[in-house]
Structure 1
Amino acid sequence: MKPLSLVRTHKQRYILALGLAVLLALMWWLNTSRVESAKLPDFKIIRDIPELKTRFFGFLEPLAKAANQAVLDDRDWLLQLKAELDKGKQPGWIKQRSLNHIADRYGLDDKESAPSELVKQLLLRVDTIPISLILVQAAAESGWGRSRFARQGNNLFGEWCYTKGCGLVPKNRPVGATHEVRAFNRPYDSVTSYLHTLNTHPAYKMLRQKRQALRKADRAVTGFALADTLIFYSERRQAYVNEIKTMLRQYNQLMDK
């Protein structure tokens, strides 16, 4: 029989460890909640351009990291499931249901496929976007957070929608056109929608394939490496890609200082 004092010591350590874990979880939740609920600052009042860029990137980077982390959580789960499947272990109904749920969220309808095939298809889509590319495209599309669509609709990436009332009507919208610039409740929602678009829309299949090829070759997935795959993001096509590349170079120089 263990001495009573030893039992108490173990119990105290367990309670202390449990309390610390709860505290850390609470701190993480509060920080994540703070980031996700952040409001867009008034960037129009900043006249100094270097300060504007620094402030804009400083505001957006935590949102980009949080959005990427949400994707990474899904990806880690899929990789764990893949490891089990590679060993011949089939998922139970709970894991199969979770797999189908992820497939729904990432736009895959073929849930009748074998779990291994579904995981393979999902890993092409469920992946992060380089922080540099998120920040630079947001800067380009929102005019450094100063556009009407950013200020009034929290739209940082120029995303369109096609249901009446879903967003803000562009002032120069052609006669007969029905698109609006989508409105979001929070800037964070705009970031998550942007990631989802790049990870699911047919126009960015080349981006997903390039990203996967880089990972398989054990090469860095950088914003510059993916920039050429954004040829369909803007009607300006190659001119837009060239602009993004220029801004990426400037961003990298700024981060190196």
Structure 2
Amino acid sequence: MLRFLVIAAVLVMASCSYYYVNTDNERLGIAPQQYEQLPRPPEFSKIKNITARKKAFFKYMRKGVTAENTRVSKERGFLLALKEKYQTDSVTPRDLVNAKLLGELYNVKLAKNALTKDWLKQMLLRVDVLPEALVLTQAANESAWGTSRFARQANNYFGQWCYSKGCGLVPRDRADGMTHEVAKFSSVSESIHRYFMNVNRNRAYKALRQIRAQLRTKGESVTTTFAAIQLVKGLNKYSERGEEYVQDIQAMIDHNQEYWLE
């Protein structure tokens, strides 16, 4: 049976939608999935050789990215099987319970607790893997290769914000009148998970999901470096820098291709 994660409220930089707390898991007897915890990260700032630091950073983070893509692949597999059952009118009550929970997790609720083509279509747009080249590059960019204060003190590798007092670290350069904090996570694994969930369901990144779906329609892989560069086009709202941010991430992906080939 699929297991689902309890998601805490958090906001990602320059986006406008929150994570939702899912309390149905325990009520329905489905145990929340535990994060596959990564070990404590190396002290990247002590690795003075830039090439060595990059290799260490990508090697460390890749394990967490792989774990998240594995989780999403299982959820997508459930949806694809559910789609076949829907087409053959063989959906079970248990399928509906899991569909309801997964839909709530991705903020696509079942209408009247009934499956529809539109629900399946919307879910398959959201529940999909992300190229590791994209995730690792954004992590490197947002965390200054794991050396930033927020990465070291808050396990925050993707510049994610929160808005409850005490939920994270107050940025030193926060403008007067602003109330956001940089979210603090219990682990690096949680930070990676929150990034995946944000990109896969935040309305600000709908364009990324559409690009990914278009690649699948063409029969192309969505995990290649080429796919990563294409998907970045849908992240223009991730940063206040907009298109300049997109171009910077694309350039970083291209510049670090040797690591993806490894």
Same fold (TM > 0.5): yes
- In structure 1, the residue matched to 2:30 is none
- Once residues 207 and 251 of structure 1 are traced to their aligned partners in structure 2, the CA distance between those partners, rounded to angstroms, is 21
SS at match of 2:129: coil
Given that 2:62 and 2:136 are in contact with CA atoms closer than 8 Å, whether structure 1 keeps it comes out as: yes
In the TM superposition, residue 110 of structure 1 has moved relative to its aligned partner by: 4.4
In the TM superposition, residue 254 of structure 1 has moved relative to its aligned partner by: 3.5
SS at match of 2:116: helix
AA aligned opposite 1:52:
R
Tell me, which stretches of 5 or more residues in structure 2 are unaligned?
1-33
- In structure 1, the residue matched to 2:243 is 238
Given that 1:140 and 1:244 are in contact with CA atoms closer than 8 Å, whether structure 2 keeps it comes out as: yes
Tell me, which stretches of 5 or more residues in structure 1 are unaligned?
1-32
SS at match of 1:208: helix
AA aligned opposite 2:62:
E
- In structure 2, the residue matched to 1:206 is 207
Given that 2:168 and 2:184 are in contact with CA atoms closer than 8 Å, whether structure 1 keeps it comes out as: yes
- In structure 1, the residue matched to 2:37 is 36
- Once residues 242 and 216 of structure 2 are traced to their aligned partners in structure 1, the CA distance between those partners, rounded to angstroms, is 26
Percent identical among aligned pairs is 38
In the TM superposition, residue 143 of structure 1 has moved relative to its aligned partner by: 0.2
Deviations 1:89-131 (A, max 9, x none): 2x22211011000001111234426413322221110011111
AA aligned opposite 1:94:
R
In the TM superposition, residue 35 of structure 1 has moved relative to its aligned partner by: 5.2
Kindly report the root-mean-square deviation, in angstroms, between the aligned alpha carbons of the 2 structures: 1.7
- In structure 2, the residue matched to 1:10 is none
Structure-to-structure mapping, 1:63-78, within 5 angstroms: 63-78=64-79
Given that 2:44 and 2:145 are in contact with CA atoms closer than 8 Å, whether structure 1 keeps it comes out as: yes
- Once residues 181 and 141 of structure 1 are traced to their aligned partners in structure 2, the CA distance between those partners, rounded to angstroms, is 12
Does 1 or 2 have the higher relative contact order (CA < 8 Å, sep 6+)? 2
Counting helix residues as a fraction of each chain, which structure ranks higher?
1
Over 4 Å off, 4+ runs: none
- In structure 1, the residue matched to 2:31 is none
Deviations 1:15-34 (A, max 9, x none): xxxxxxxxxxxxxxxxxx89
- Once residues 85 and 199 of structure 2 are traced to their aligned partners in structure 1, the CA distance between those partners, rounded to angstroms, is 28
Q: TM-score, normalised by structure 2?
A: 0.82
> Would you say 1:223 and 2:231 are equivalent positions?
no
In the TM superposition, residue 85 of structure 1 has moved relative to its aligned partner by: 1.2
- Once residues 210 and 112 of structure 2 are traced to their aligned partners in structure 1, the CA distance between those partners, rounded to angstroms, is 23
Count matched residues: 225
- In structure 2, the residue matched to 1:145 is 146
Q: TM-score, normalised by structure 1?
A: 0.83
- Once residues 61 and 35 of structure 1 are traced to their aligned partners in structure 2, the CA distance between those partners, rounded to angstroms, is 13
Please say which structure displays the higher CA radius of gyration.
1
SS at match of 1:150: helix
